[in-house]
Structure 1
């Protein structure tokens, strides 16, 4: 009987000590999660002058934008600085071929009507849906790509302001567009 009593106490002791380790493990996991969240919080606004901030701006703004088979870009806003080199990579993360679900990225000059440009682009299949008579309306553009493909271009960001970008494949501009803000 005494042995049975000691066995029960030993079993209880082992159970309590193992559970304590699990609590500590859960606590450590919670700390790791909180650390990750804290790193994602925004920092306080800078009190530096505009000239000091310009010195901190990277020479090259690397932008990756994805288009899919549902006619959507993953970004609808891109921000860069005037005069900065922009290295933009367009990835078509869908599977459909360029003939039926092609995507490109076109940055229009200020004041160009996106819908008018897209209408003209519908008749420019042989030119990658960039109308030859409207090339003066374009700051930069990628070629047309299909599912699983990607393309990278480099260009210099224009003057401060807000510009529009779109996919000029027929029917895509309504859903595949966004704002390109130059600070």
Structure 2
């Protein structure tokens, strides 16, 4: 019986020793310096939802991604001056499954009606024949970009959308020409 007690005692002491070692590890990990951690937004996080172009330049870059988002939903430009707009697809998916374009529509255009017509225009990359189009980029996939140049002659609010099927409800915004 004495041997069982000694083996049991040894097992108990071993368990306590292992548990205390585990606790010292936890103690050490709780002393980790977390001051290096910040609450800043990571670089790959989606950008802000609005942007303003410079008052002296109408040069704009709009990013699109694999989550069906533009990084901006409002742009301000000078009316009557040339605009250079680059659409950059920062995602990885191909244009067959997550294609994006940016179509600028005339002020007052019916966006819903235009979007319906776009669904029927697969052979032209979902860009229908329409007098409501001011300018449009090409349909692009991940890692690609497309640049357009146009002028909004009159002050006003102009809608822009992505016409890829199902995207216009989320990928839309306004250009305000002042």
TM-score range, shorter chain: 0.5 to 0.7
Q: Verify the 8 A CA contact 2:55 2:77 in the aligned structure 1.
A: no
| Superposition map of 1:33-52 within 5 A | none
Q: CA deviation at 1:163?
A: 1.1
Name the count of aligned residue pairs.
Answer: 125
What is residue 8 of structure 2 aligned with on the other side? none
More helix by share: 1
| Superposition map of 1:119-138 within 5 A | 119-132=116-129, 134=130, 136-138=131-133
What is residue 116 of structure 1 aligned with on the other side? 113
Over 3 Å off, 4+ runs: none
What is residue 149 of structure 2 aligned with on the other side? 154
Q: Verify the 8 A CA contact 2:69 2:171 in the aligned structure 1.
A: yes
Match of 1:88 among 85, 90, 99: 85
Gaps of 5+ in 1: 1-55
Gaps of 5+ in 2: 1-53
Superposition CA RMSD, Å: 1.3
Match of 1:164 among 159, 168, 172: 159
TM, length-normalised to structure 1: 0.66
Q: Verify the 8 A CA contact 2:85 2:149 in the aligned structure 1.
A: yes
Q: Rg bigger for which structure?
A: 2
What is residue 42 of structure 1 aligned with on the other side? none
